[in-house]
Amino acid sequence: MRISIKLIALCVILQFSTIIFAQDKAKQIEQLLSKYNEYGQFNGSALVAENGKIIFKKGFGSANFEWNIPNQPDTKFRLGSISKQFTAFLIVKLAEEGKLKLDVPITTYLPDYPKETGDKITIHNLLTHTSGIPNYTSVPNFMREKARNPYSPADFVKTFNTLPLEFTPGSKFNYSNSGYFLLGYIIEKISGKTYEQYLQETILTPLKMVNTGYDHTNIILKNRAAGYEKEGKKLSNAAYLDMSIPYAAGSLYSTVEDLYLWDQSLYTTQLLSEKSIESLFKPYIISGGAFYGYGWFVEENDNGAKGKLKTVGHGGGINGFNTIISRDLTDKNLIVLLNNTGGTVLGEMTDEIHNILYNKPFNQPKKSLALDLLDVFAEKGTTAGTDAYKKLKSDPTYGIKEDDMNRVGYQLLQDGKKKEAIEVFKINVENFPKSGNVYDSLAEAYLAEGDKKQAIANYTQSIKLDPSNENGKKVLAEISKK
């Protein structure tokens, strides 16, 4: 068979062009993340793949600030809630093997769970955050009273299994770590192994994810990043958290490189059948414009002439760490960002990298106005803080970021500066008037200050904008009753 010389030349040119385009995108991504790092908004490791091939991976900032040890692509980070997708995978694996059913009450596998509520809740409800079980990390004084203490799964379940349901199972979505904690406990009951053992044997060993596992504070772990929290521009060591607490809802550590192996495996039937894989990414329930599958948020967006673009992803937040994984299933693109300086704007960064991958215009990073305001409000009070805000908001190098402002407000509230916190939350309301969360935060600050009238008004507005705000409804009912 004779092949045209022109055809061969065309293929070579196309292949060369693809390499050049990938290099250009990698350069843009590096410049983008370097600027986020310069502005104190990203300190971690990143990996980006296009059409299944890695085009960029790099560490930014320090894995350990005391020793100036840099972050690298093989640095290990705590994942937080990204762990949930592994737990969901294990449950679906057990279902595929006929060892459990997703549509039966959880009391089928947990006979000691209170039947009054357990008989109404299915495993499907746990997977999709539609169980109505209160989120244990939202219980008042959780960090002070429980987070530092070791628990067995059986004992920790008893700390929340008698709480009244927030709604009828299946009727609403409300993100709950409690549900995924229970899924881990069910895995142990059915497999006869610990969650950690079953995870290792079922996923990590077959995929050669040698830099991923259940994090134990007492174990010496090579290349583990230390976790830090920010108070404005200042860093402090993250508060201790016993890793028996996040358990199957958020206890894992990994690297960007290992998460690439995980991503690639989900395009195959190496560990699960195609039908079971599809069940992970089926949009079961809507939440704030996004649908939730089994351990993944699911979105479908218009991609012009190419049709629909299906993206699945999840974020994670745990003491000292902030993480995100985003997968474009249509084009096999992947973005992984792992950060070890607490909460930051990883969603914003992911959106801009996504735009780069699809040759769309993207925004350059801006300094976070919130980080500068914290010091002023904390040290000089409300008047000076408000004046600084009016001055800086007109500076084009600064951006007002909802999550950052929220964190600053809560930092002030935690430090007993209630009036200052109220002013910061009011700035957030001014700039994000359609966000239910900013009104909820302002209401909480007013309540702490003793202004119940303003607390009621803002909780009411929060619930109007975000009907899924179950905690806001509960607090509002309590205030109104009193």
DSSP letter assigned to residue 122: B
For residues 261 and 214, state if they share a domain.
yes
Q: Are residues 95 and 193 in the same domain?
A: yes
* Position 2 in a domain: no
* Domain match, 90 and 171 both: yes
User: Is residue 419 one of the residues assigned to a domain?
Assistant: yes
Q: Domain boundary residue among 310, 338, 357?
A: 357
**Residues 174 and 166 sit within 8 Å (Cβ to Cβ):** yes
Q: Is residue 92 part of a domain?
A: yes
Name the region of 304 (left: φ>0; alpha: ψ -120 to 50; beta: rest): left
Residue 263, domain member (yes or no): yes
461 confidence band (pLDDT: 50, 70, 90): very high
For residue 338, the model assigns a pLDDT of 98
Give the per-residue pLDDT at 387: 93
Cα separation of 10 and 13, whole Å?
Answer: 5
Q: Coil, strand or helix: which one is 373?
A: helix
pLDDT of residue 417: 92
Residue 283 lies inside a defined structural domain of this protein: yes
Based on the fold, state whether residues 352 and 387 are members of the same structural domain. Answer: no
Residue 6 lies in a domain: no
Residue 36 belongs to a domain: no
Same domain, 381 and 344: no
Q: Among 322, 357, 392, which residue terminates a domain?
A: 357
Asked if residue 6 has pLDDT above 70, the reply is no
pLDDT, average across residues 283-294:
82
pLDDT of residue 15: 53
The whole-model pTM stands at 0.88
What pLDDT sits at residue 332?
A: 97
Rounded CA-CA distance 27/396 in Å is: 24
Same domain, residue pair 268 and 384? no
Q: What is the pLDDT of residue 139?
A: 84
Neighbour count for residue 4 (Cβ, 10 Å): 8
Residues spanned by the domain of 423: 367-481
H or E, element range at 463: helix 452-465
Rg from Cα positions in the chain: 23
Q: Are residues 326 and 371 in the same domain?
A: no
451, pLDDT greater than 80: yes
**What's the CATH code of the domain at 131?**
3.40.710.10
In a domain, 132, yes or no: yes
Q: Is there a single domain that holds both residue 441 and residue 295?
A: no
Q: What per-residue confidence (pLDDT) applies to 306? A: 60
Residue 218, helix vs strand vs coil? coil
Q: Residue 465 sits in a domain of what CATH number?
A: 1.25.40.10
Using the 3D structure, point to which of 310, 327, 357 is the last residue of a domain.
357
- Determine the average pLDDT of the residues in 357-373: 92
Structure tokens at 237: 């060591």
Query: How many domains in the chain?
Result: 2
State pLDDT tens for residues 135-181: 999 887 888 888 999 999 999 999 999 999 999 999 989 899 999 99
pLDDT at 20: 59
Q: Exposure string (b/e) for 94-124, b if CB count within 10 Å is 16 or more?
A: bbbeeebebeebbbebbeebeeebbebbbbb
Phi, psi for residue 145 in degrees, rounded to 5? -100, -25
Using DSSP's 3-state secondary structure scheme, residue 399 falls into strand
Find out whether 407 and 420 touch, Cβ atoms under 8 Å: no
Q: Is it the case that residue 2 has pLDDT exceeding 80?
A: no
Distances (CA, A) of 76 to 204, 210, 217, 227, 238: 15, 11, 13, 11, 16
Cβ atoms of residues 9 and 338 within 8 Å: no
How far is residue 181's CA from residue 217's CA, in Å, rounded to a whole number?
Answer: 19
**pLDDT exceeds cutoff 80 at 262:** yes
Both 318 and 400 in one domain: the answer is no
Co-location of 471 and 378 in the same domain: yes
Q: Supply the DSSP symbol for 365.
A: P
Q: 321 forms bridges with which residues in the sheet? A: 318
Mean pLDDT of the chain: 92
Is 424 a residue whose pLDDT tops 60?
yes
| Cα torsion through 140, 142, 144, 146, rounded to 10 | 140
